[in-house]
Structures are given as C-alpha cells and as structure tokens.
Amino acid sequence: MLKRFFKNNRCLIVIFCIMIILSSCFSGIVAYSVSNYNGITIVIDPGHGGRDGGSVGVNGTIEKEINLKYAQVLKERLVRSGYRVELTRKTDDGLYSEFASNKKMSDMRARFNIIQNTNPNLVISIHMNSFGSPSAKGALTYYRNGDEASKRCADLIQASLNTYCDAPTRQGKVGDYYILNCSYYTSILIECGFISNPEEERLLNTKEYCEKFVEAVYSGILLYFGNSNDYV
Ligand SMILES: [Zn+2]
C-alpha cells in the first residue's frame, strides 16, 4: 500500500523535498540579515536634488550628484556592518512637491518627515563646500549649537577625517542648518570638501578617495556608538 503510494506520487514527493530544501535556505538568509542588525538606525541625507543642484565645482562637478554618490557608498558600508540605514533622497530628484510655492521648504519638510518616521539614532547630512578662494580645502563637520551628543559625534568624525583624509586639523563646528535644527535626534552635517578647489574637486571625484572618506566617517561613527573594537 505504502509502496504503491510512493510509486504513484514519486514526482510530488520530489517537488515536496525541493520545496523543503529551498525554504530552509531562504529562512537561513532571513535569519542572517536579522541577526546582522546591530540595533542602530542612521538616516543619511544627500543634500540638494532636483532643480536645486547645490554648488558647482570649478571643473563642473554638480554638488547634488556627488552628495548622492557619497551617501550611497556610506550607506553600503554601514549596512554591511549591520546598521539599518534610510536615505532621505534615493534619486537625483528633489523631495519637494511640484505644486509647492516654496519648493525649498517643501523639500526640507519632506526630509524632516522621513527623519521623524525613521526614529534614528543618528542623522548625517552630506554636502560639498564651495568658497571664493580656490585654496580653501578639507572636510568640515557641523552640529547644532548646545547639543552635546551631536557635538561629540561631530568631533569624533572630524578627528577621524583629519587623520584618514589628511585634512587640516579641525574640530566639529557649530552650524545653523535646517537639517540640524529640525529634530531632536543627534544630527551632523558633513561638508566633505571644497569643489571650488580644483585639486580637491578632482580628488573627491575619485573612487579611491570616496572610499577612504567613507571609511573615515565609518570609523568616527563606530567610536561614537562606543564599539571601536568592531572596526574592520
Ligand atoms: Zn550643499
């Protein structure tokens, strides 16, 4: 009786076994990604977007484009190490409504809403700097006045950037920016470098420097969250 059942349903049994094997594989992947999460959520905010291109480099770098690139590379680095990361802007487009009379405010409100809905442990806004004198160079990390946690984070990331990226010796700076003031979350804004400086603009556009820069920011983040031993 049993023998006849196996004989008649051989095909079904094979399909059933394949399904069992596949489902155990997929549950393994899900279990891995859940266990990989280190409990820290970060919002990365690539500055500008859409009709707001930001600064333009001496050799034509569009700030909104390079901001997005740095944000994406930083996101990949953090996700690989178990952080949950949300980008405010995932494409070239701005976040404003086409119908808004004040598109800048509409864009900033949308970024604020993403931050609020994500409830992050840290917000990092990414920008590129520009100045009249072409000799100005190096990264600058800003925090909102009077916020000790944001100051500590900005100082650690700035110190890491000074070391890794051979930047002029600086500390975190007080900055009066909407993205820093709009919420009570720990928030910093990084001006990665000056695209008004021809040499720094060239450097910022190389894959090697971008990766080195991101590694420096990552190292500062690890120190801020107090698990510097995990640094790899
Ligand atoms: Zn900017």
- pLDDT 10s digit of each residue in the chain, 232 long? 555 655 666 655 555 545 555 455 444 444 445 568 999 999 999 999 999 999 999 999 999 999 999 999 999 999 999 999 999 999 999 999 999 999 999 999 999 999 999 999 999 999 999 999 999 999 999 999 999 999 999 999 999 999 999 777 899 999 999 999 999 999 999 999 999 999 999 999 999 999 999 999 999 999 999 964 444 3
Question: Residue 214's closest CA among 174, 157, 166?
Answer: 157
The first and second tokens of residue 7, run together, are 């004989």
How many angstroms is it from 5 CA to the middle of ligand 1? Answer: 70
The first and second tokens of residue 175, run together, are 């900055």
Question: Residue 159's closest CA among 131, 145, 138, 176?
Answer: 138
CB 204, CB 192: distance < 8 Å? yes
CB 205, CB 61: distance < 8 Å? yes
Distance CA 12, CA 61 (A): 60
How many angstroms is it from 57 CA to the middle of ligand 1? Answer: 12
CA 67 vs CA 31, 52, 154, 160, 205: distances in Å? 33, 12, 18, 19, 11
How many angstroms is it from 37 CA to the middle of ligand 1? Answer: 31
How many angstroms is it from 225 CA to the middle of ligand 1? Answer: 26
Pick the CATH number of 40-230 from 3.30.565.10, 3.40.50.300, 1.20.1290.10, 3.40.630.40: 3.40.630.40
How many angstroms is it from 38 CA to the middle of ligand 1? Answer: 30
